[in-house]
């Protein structure tokens, strides 16, 4: 299994588990209540099945980007880690004021690469005021940056220290929550980062 239709079928079930849903909705609520302006315009990097659209009802403009479409909420198929992302802005129906990357950038990129991406978004897209990204780590493997997961997928764990990746462009607020689930087991801790433009 890879990041394919079978994985996303399992993942949709994971997102519907009560404890998982409660934790994710709490983070979305914090983002919408405290960081975003009245009319959020969201760029979703690695949109997958479109968790915000499918599970969290809110009044916002949304644009999903993924290397391969896995649902009806993907508006552009491209590798968001490439320069193509930064050429996308003039083609979008709105200028985003927020980006999200739910278990995509944090899981698919090393710490150096993901912080470079976040810095570039704040530097090159002046309308962006905040971001919400999520990652994870397994307590029993918290010393490993890269681990094997369900279906043979390799993922980067969010184990780096925020102080080692300080930025003059944004401030990072971090929240860790143990979120046991059927798909990922009892050992997993989700790591959520709110990134706010300085």
pLDDT per position as a tens digit, 42-60: 999 999 888 988 888 777 8
pLDDT confidence of residue 5: 78
Tokens representing residue 80 in the block? 């968001």
pLDDT confidence of residue 123: 96
- Say how far apart CA 128 and CA 52 lie, in whole Å: 18
The overall average pLDDT reported for the chain is: 91
pLDDT confidence of residue 149: 85
Element containing residue 48 per DSSP (H, E): none
Per residue in 56-72, pLDDT (tens digit) is 877 789 999 998 877 78
pLDDT confidence of residue 2: 64
Q: If you ran DSSP here, which 8-state letter would residue 183 be given? A: T
Tokens representing residue 59 in the block? 């009044």
> Cα 177 to the chain's mean position, in Å?
15
Phi-psi region of 136 (alpha: psi -120 to 50; beta: other; left: phi over 0): beta
Per residue in 98-144, pLDDT (tens digit) is 999 999 999 999 999 999 999 999 999 999 999 999 999 999 999 99
pLDDT confidence of residue 116: 97
- Which of the listed CATH numbers 3.40.50.150, 3.40.50.10330, 3.90.70.10, 3.30.70.580 matches domain 5-197? 3.40.50.150
| Bridge partner residues of 62 (DSSP) | 42
Domain ranges of the chain: 5-197
pLDDT confidence of residue 1: 43
What is the separation, in whole angstroms, between the first and last Cα of the chain?
41
């Amino acid at each position: 299994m890879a990041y394919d239709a079978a994985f996303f079928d399992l993942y949709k079930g994971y997102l519907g588990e009560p404890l998982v849903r409660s934790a994710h909705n709490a983070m979305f609520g914090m983002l919408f209540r405290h960081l975003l302006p009245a009319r959020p315009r969201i760029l979703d990097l690695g949109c997958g099945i479109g968790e915000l659209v499918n599970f969290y009802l809110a009044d916002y403009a949304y644009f999903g980007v993924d290397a391969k479409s896995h649902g009806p909420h993907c508006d552009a198929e491209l590798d968001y880690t490439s320069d193509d992302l930064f050429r996308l802005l003039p083609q979008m129906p709105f200028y985003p004021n927020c980006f999200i990357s739910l278990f995509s950038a944090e899981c698919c990129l090393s710490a150096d690469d993901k912080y470079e991406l976040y810095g570039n978004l704040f530097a090159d897209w002046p309308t962006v005021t905040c971001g919400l990204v999520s990652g994870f780590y397994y307590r029993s493997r918290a010393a490993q940056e890269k681990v094997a997961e369900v279906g043979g997928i390799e993922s980067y764990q969010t184990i780096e220290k925020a102080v080692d990746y300080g930025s003059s462009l944004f401030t990072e607020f971090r929240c860790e929550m143990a979120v046991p689930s059927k798909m990922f087991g009892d050992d997993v801790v989700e790591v959520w980062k709110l990134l706010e433009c300085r």
